Amino acid sequence: MTNVGLLFILLPVCLFGLMLAAAFAGNRLAMIRRRRLDDAAAVGTSAIDAAVLGLLGLLVAFWFSSAGTRLDVRRSLIVEEANAIGTAWLRLELLPTPVRLAVQDLFRNYVDLRLEQTTVLLQPEMQASADRRLTELRESIWRQAVEAAPDCESDQAAAILLESLNEMFDASTRHQAFFNAHTPTAILILLLTVAVFAAGLAGHDMSGRGTFNWLHAIVFAGVVSLTIWVIYDLEMPRYGLIRVDNFDETLREVRADFDRPR
């Protein structure tokens, strides 16, 4: 199991446990304080509780919005790269036949590697090896296309071909870079911390009846933990339940077109 897969399990479970423990601790602390202090000491604390809960809601809304936006952009980038590869493949017809056949073979290897990078969860050392191989394929495709450019039917044909290759490489870079872009860890830690403190304050407020209301504490901790888990799922579309696999089919269909007889 990868670190990300393990975190998918540990994040909601640990948060749920911490929030439940914080709520119970807050409840016990409130009962102890009630024995030592009069009720006037609690005046005005509801405003602080509301502020902390409001901050928790704000952080959850911010993270949910940004994670949803990134998911939409990631889907768009998959389609963008597939379109760029398909266009570049068609424009290889502008190359002289011997060079075209050689570059087409490189194209097949290039797209196979991109599919492996984007759809298979590679280990770090395998990912580094794939990145080096991808760089070599890019350089080979570009070098052979540039060398064959003078032999194209016209300068305009060569320019169109090179432009499409450049756009294909740029689309790949944008796709790869954005899939590695996530909400800063500091914001996630802040959100989890605020959630635990909010649970503690909620438990503190439940001390009025002299008993700890387990049902409300479990519901509160469960709802918050589940919400944060779903948002984290949005951040990692290659690991959880919310995935982009159906958009990957666009790139696979482009790759399948390479082997169809003409």
CA–CA gap between residue 251 and residue 21 (Å, rounded): 47
171 is written with which tokens? 């689309």
CA–CA gap between residue 205 and residue 42 (Å, rounded): 10
Nearest alpha-carbon partner for 22 in 183, 237, 218: 218
Residue 152 gets which letter from DSSP? S
Q: What are phi and psi of 25, to 5 degrees?
A: -65, -40
Cβ neighbors of 117 (< 8 A, separation 6 or more) are 127, 130, 131, 134, 176
Average pLDDT on 138-150 reads 92
Residue 96 gets which letter from DSSP? -
* Averaged pLDDT score across all residues of the chain: 86
Instruction: Write out the residue range of the structural domain in which residue 100 sits.
Output: 3-38+46-258
CA 6 from chain centre, in angstroms, equals 16
Whether the per-residue pLDDT at 198 is higher than 70: the answer is yes
CA distances from 37 to 29, 104, 164 (A): 12, 81, 75
Give the pLDDT confidence score for residue 1 in this predicted structure. Answer: 46
Give the pLDDT confidence score for residue 80 in this predicted structure. Answer: 94
Q: How many distinct structural domains can be found in the chain?
A: 1
- Comparing 179 with 227, the larger pLDDT belongs to 227
Q: What is the pTM of this model?
A: 0.81
Nearest alpha-carbon partner for 19 in 234, 170, 262, 226: 226
Average pLDDT on 1-19 reads 80
Radius of gyration of the chain (CA): 27
